[in-house]
Amino acid sequence: MATLPRAAAAAAPSPAAALLPLPRAAPLLAGRAAARSAARRLRARGTRAPPLAAARRGWGGVSPRAVLDLPRRREAAEKPAQKAADLNEILSERGACGVGFVANLKNEPSFNIVRDALVALGCMEHRGGCGADNDSGDGSGLMSGIPWDLFNDWANKQGLAPLDRTNTGVGMVFLPQDENSMEEAKAVVAKVFTDEGLEVLGWRTVPFNVSVVGRYAKETMPNIQQIFVKVAKEDNADDIERELYICRKLIERATKSASWADELYFCSLSSRTIVYKGMLRSEILGQFYLDLQNELYKSPFAIYHRRYSTNTSPRWPLAQPMRLLGHNGEINTIQGNLNWMRSREATLQSPVWRGREHEIRPFGDPKASDSANLDSTAELLLRSGRSPAEAMMILVPEAYKNHPTLSIKYPEVIDFYDYYKGQMEAWDGPALLLFSDGRTVGACLDRNGLRPARYWRTSDDFVYVASEVGVIPMDESKVVMKGRLGPGMMITVDLQTGQVLENTEVKKSVASANPYGSWLQQSTRSIKPVNFQSSVAMDNETVLRHQQAFGYSSEDVQMVIETMASQGKEPTFCMGDDIPLAVLSQKPHMLFDYFKQRFAQVTNPAIDPLREGLVMSLEVNIGKRRNILEVGPENADQVTLSSPVLNEGELESLLNDSKLKPKVLSTYFDIRKGLDGSLDKAIKVLCDEADAAVRNGSQLLVLSDRSEALEPTRPAIPILLAVGAIHQHLIQNGLRMSASIVADTAQCFSTHQFACLIGYGASAVCPYLALETCRQWRLSNKTVNLMRNGKMPTVTIEQAQRNFIKAVKSGLLKILSKMGISLLSSYCGAQIFEIYGLGQEVVDLAFCGSVSKIGGLTLDELGRETLSFWVKAFSEDTAKRLENFGFIQSRPGGEYHANNPEMSKLLHKAVREKSDNAYTVYQQHLASRPVNVLRDLLELKSDRAPIPIGKVEPATSIVERFCTGGMSLGAISRETHEAIAIAMNRIGGKSNSGEGGEDPIRWSPLADVEDGYSPTLPHLKGLQNGDTATSAIKQVMMVALELAQLVQSSMLGVLGNLTLIQNGLRERVVLRVDGGFRSGLDVLMAAAMGADEYGFGSVAMIATGCVMARICHTNNCPVGVASQREELRARFPGVPGDLVNYFLFVAEEVRATLAQLGFEKLDDIIGRTDLLKAKHVSLAKTQHIDLKYLLSSAGLPKWSSSQIRSQDVHSNGPVLDETILADPDISDAIENEKEVSKTFPIYNVDRAVCGRVAGVIAKKYGDTGFAGQLNITFTGSAGQSFGCFLTPGMNIRLIGEANDYVGKGMAGGELVVVPVEKTGFVPEDAAIVFVRGKTGERFAVRNSLGQAVVEGTGDHCCEYMTGGCVVVLGKVGRNVAAGMTGGLAYILDEDDTLVPKVNKEIVKMQRVNAPAGQMQLKGLIEAYVEKTGSEKGATILREWEAYLPLFWQLVPPSEEDSPEACAEFERVLAKQATTVQSAK
């Protein structure tokens, strides 16, 4: 009856069901440790909860668990200069959190609402971050209505008149710490209010308890006061809010130049809402702010938030909620969003502002967090007259394309989204957003549903929303409605009317306000697909000349363009990128090569573009984007493109659109008067031309390097430089919203190049030379002959071009997905790149805001590199074929590759012969190589005298710091995988299992080795008794530091060390780096930059036999290192001793260098960047590399590296599994394989319950050896990952509800989740009650053998399923069975809506006709009803004949001939038997 519900990084409500044996472990997605949470620190299992009165008197110090145990009780100007957002400032302010709200539908203020919100907040501590002092939080806060009773009590004591609730604004203000600065700030604030005609009624010092604040938070703690102002000149409530908004903006402008400007911050300034927040942990918020303990603090609603910032040094202002929103998630497109908002500043107007729009600019702040900027934009829309729900729909639209429900029932909602698609780029990324303007409270989820959100309503008129269930004590009999927010869904509560609107009701109400559909029909045009050219436009010689001039190599044409044209997909290469950075290379590179794509962070899951492409779109709108604060048909006057990749005919269609008034700008620069300064001059002229064209009404700028004839003295400007420069120029001059940019270029042929152009502002690209290259390739004699002989699939000339564009589009989706971005329109202009090797002059001109930490080429140097390509087209001795630069594959005379055949031969000789001399030759080879990585520009120097090498720590100690990379079985052969693991175990280092697990035979030490061979591992040689082939690092989750795959280890070492030391965390973690390590010098460089351990990747495979054939991806490795073919694996030459020898050589090299430097231990140089000095190296392209960033230091940790590495494993504090394992009956049952039954209470803070219990059983008995039985029942609300990693013999039952990832990684056992009795709602309608309820997104993802029965699921059910059986007795979401290659699914379709929801790429749909399938289905439902008492299941069984025809069976090809899926199985079986017999 069960399955592996969710093994993916989906953050939606827990899937659940009656769960049975599951043989396969799923990836563990570890949650944030909650060691400091009150629910853990103050837990006292088995003790009685304090009485309610005691909890109220001192509730701030009571654990959330104690409160959760209680019974439920209730009381009834001048335009500012615009500039692009700076990625340096943005990168540090992102997060993922826990949020929720409580609201009273009668709009009755109550202290209990505030109390409940704080209790819930305390139960979210594990969703937040904590500082090194264990007390300073990333931030927590609470938004509520203004507590007028509390403030009137204060006013009365101050001798003030009672506050007018209608016309009084209250500001919650963080003021400078310094007393004098604080008084200056207060004076400026008061003056602005007075100048605006508002009366300042007084300042109130907010009472707080500073003793509960952590050390780091205390150091930056502001003075916290409240200001009360009377807005007498406005009567309308919305006008009052607008006036207060203007005042806040004027205060920000007035204090901009003050030394204390960054210390002045308004948490809120409103006549309706107030925000209490700080750099505090969840449980501390109510203890810190004494107001929150005062029963006069009453509010009809409260939004609470616990912040977990992934990449920030937390600050008080960045705690949440913000002024309108509480945001759990990350905005991945933030830099683009900020740039576009700044571009809008010149055009945003609305009558409600009465001509004062210039006073409320700017609309964004790169120094603030992504959440703060989203809040700022939402607030602008709100104050301009939009409702909160409408603002959220505009900013965070759902995936409305191909949505069966919306297209059939709510077409007006689709029209709304289509209308705003061209007006506002989505703020894209995983997000749960809670919002309130004081009159409406609501929540919405991002289009992917990548954050969890539950809601419930009670009979006493309360509505709750939270990231988790179980955060507030609840009388289940009062719950009348439960649900979950799925992808893109929304819920709102109107506090004035008491109306609760669920998703489609909200959206229909908003979308019906204007005739968006008719406006779209009236004004929006689409470019229809235009046929590809069927003949070449250039002769062969002209094509060759163009390819040479624009930087093509033979590899680009043959391995990239031709592969895409023939196969319709991106080419695949292997062995990584081991050539020098473009700036270090002696070969010319195109400008694109200086840019590296960023990708999603740890808390920010990437998207699956193959199976979940329904949430992604490459659509883009062309034309002017008008004033978004006004609505009308003119805003829809744009052209829609289905893709940013255009052929020549589609570009021509755009150029013929008279409404766009397109302007073609030629992108060449003139060098007749010399190269120096020519590129800069040409760019400025180009920008002026673009500026003039836009001011004259052009809505489309086409930047083109197309020319009738190429001229030697007029090289093409790098198209990326041209696009970026015009994009930035138009932003800075307030014109960017008036026109779109399209690149018509010969310089673009790879997906990375398309991504760069779009990321820096191009809306579309026409790659005319790449398309011409496709045509020429198809018509060449070589291609024709290959196709004629059947050695290549036949494609037409049109198909070749179509394939190329298909490959580009697929590649763009992949790039977007890695960053967690769904929409190309949001990626456009988002600048999600880091730059390596361009100077600030170039960055400021065209890529303003992007990070280029090491400096690099000037404009003139860039022009010189561009010219080096251009001259090849005009040189008399130019070859008649393209040059092979050797960027992809190593070749004589080509680009240097660090992993080259000569290097591998020298290394093989050294390790196989165990020859010191041979290793010295290998060292000399590395020392004489060209500059390849940044660390090659550095050297180690010490002022100490050398010491004898005998005084240096032994090599056996050094090698314990060595690790090998995570290489999965399948990527390399079993022989390689095990040889590496054995070698690392011999030296005490660490190998990494990669993904996929290990054969248990590898876990035990060998005891049967003779002459280097073992019957246990017969495929290996060179073995020793005592060897183990298990990996020390079991990779259950792919965790990548920011840019780890892109930046060199030197950068990462500095980044990691600096950040950890600055935040007081360095002693708590071991810092491991890798990045092309090949020698002891590489290790020492990394050590000096702060690394404790050192990872070796490709070189470890080379040491075990790899010959760098670079055909790993073809499964044809000639020495069986990276092949699964048995005959090739038999050639594997490696033995573990070879890798041991290599690492000992490296360690001895480290020892020798330490002795030369005068140090005895590696510990002594770790973090010593002062030992690193810049070499005097003459680079071919520039002398402007700046290495200061690599040499920066934040000091040394308090402990030595060895102390850090040898410290005890950190504890997560007390956990429920420890209580279970401490139970004498359970421990006896495990020890003696008995049966036992026990019951325990469970709370949402109890996460991964049963995981440790399962681990104890598995460690003692293995996967299936336990003969006892643990029958454990839990009552309450389970935290995340309930029932994870269960083993056979564990029967787990939960009476209540659970959060995400129920049953994750089950390897056996049984898991049943049922609702409590006497609920006030129908369980079948609840999203959070499992078995008799629905499950969340991605239910049964990657299920391999488990069986499950549930009563409804979210999107992506049965995704990537490979086995087992899933039965769904209710509605499902979209994209069912995507990537499902095994197992069966039975889905009840009572209203005939299932068919469009199933992804039929692999599976077929059929009715349940096979008798065996009918028996399987009925048997599962019978067992399910027996376990759960499901009324729905019982009804189906009673009326079996009526319900059976309503079930669909989803069958992948692997199951088509199974008895359960094949109605004629017996006949097929008999026929097969006859065939076999005949063959005999």
Residues 1358/1255/1073/985 CA torsion (nearest 10 deg): -120
CA distance 436 to 276: 15
- Give how far Cα 604 sits from Cα of 12, 142, 311, 566, 825, Å: 14, 25, 12, 35, 20
440 DSSP 8-state letter: E
As given in the structure block, the two tokens for residue 608 are: 């699956």
Assess whether 247 carries a catalytic annotation: no
Residues 1144/1149/1150/1152 CA torsion (nearest 10 deg): 120
- Helical spans, DSSP H, in 158-306: 179-195, 215-219, 237-254, 282-288
- Give how far Cα 1317 sits from Cα of 75, 1053, 1338, 1419, Å: 26, 56, 28, 25
As given in the structure block, the two tokens for residue 149 are: 């009773």
Query: What's the per-residue H, E or C state across 1114-1183?
Result: HCCCCCCCCCCCHHHHCCCCCCHHHHHHHHHHHHHHHHHHHHHHCCCCHHHHCCCHHHEEECCCCCCCCC
CA distance 1011 to 914: 19
- Give how far Cα 1013 sits from Cα of 130, 859, 1002, 1025, 1139, Å: 52, 62, 15, 10, 17
1352 DSSP 8-state letter: -
Residues 384/390/391/392 CA torsion (nearest 10 deg): 170
1478 DSSP 8-state letter: H
Amino acid (one-letter) located at 277: K
CA distance 814 to 1366: 30
Return the axis-axis angle of helices 1251-1261 and 1224-1232, rounded to nearest 10°: 30
As given in the structure block, the two tokens for residue 1179 are: 């680079």
Specify the DSSP element, H or E, that contains 648: helix 648-655
Instruction: Select which of 97, 130, 756, 1117 is catalytic.
Output: 97
On the question of a cis peptide bond just before residue 1396, with omega within 30 degrees of 0, the verdict is no
Count CA atoms closer than 13 A to 671's CA, side-chain side. Answer: 19
CA distance 1175 to 1170: 14
CA distance 1289 to 1307: 11
Strand ranges across the sheet with 265-270: 199-205, 223-230, 168-175, 265-270
CA distance 1170 to 1160: 17
Residues 1034/1036/1041/1042 CA torsion (nearest 10 deg): 150
CA distance 358 to 79: 6
On the question of a cis peptide bond just before residue 321, with omega within 30 degrees of 0, the verdict is yes
CA 248, chain centre distance (Å): 34
Catalytic residues: 97
